Amino acid sequence: MNGGEIIGLVGMLLLVSSWVPQTWETIRTRKCPLNTGFVLIYVTASTLLTVYSYLIGDPIFLVLNFLAAFQSAVNLAVKIMEKKA
C-alpha cells in the first residue's frame, strides 16, 4: 500500500464514520431529523458513485461510496416509514 492509498483509506474511514452517529441515532429513535431531499439525493449520488468506482476499479472509493449509500439508505428508509405512520 502506497502513501496515496493510505491517505485515501484514512479519508474513507473518517467520512464513513461521520455517518455512524446519525445512523445509530436514527435506528435507536426510529426518527430521522434530516431533510428528505438531502437524504434522497445523497443515497442516489452515493449509489451512482459506487457503480462508477466499480467500473473504474477503485476499491477505496467503491467501499466508501457503498458504505455511505448504505448508511444514508437506512436514514431514508426510516424517514419514509415516519411519513407513513
Instruction: Record the cell numbers describing residue 64, joined without a space.
Output: 466508501
Per-residue pLDDT of the chain (85 residues; tens, 9 = 90+): 888 889 988 998 998 899 999 999 999 999 999 999 999 999 999 999 999 999 999 999 999 999 999 999 999 999 999 888 7
CATH topology of domain 3-84: Monooxygenase (1.20.1280)
Q: What is the distance between the alpha carbons of residues 15 and 82, in angstroms, rounded to a whole number? A: 26
Instruction: Record the cell numbers describing residue 43, joined without a space.
Output: 443515497
Q: Domain boundaries in the chain? A: 3-84
HSE toward the beta carbon, residue 31, CA cutoff 13 A: 2
Query: What is the reported pLDDT for 32?
Result: 94
Query: What is the reported pLDDT for 22?
Result: 93
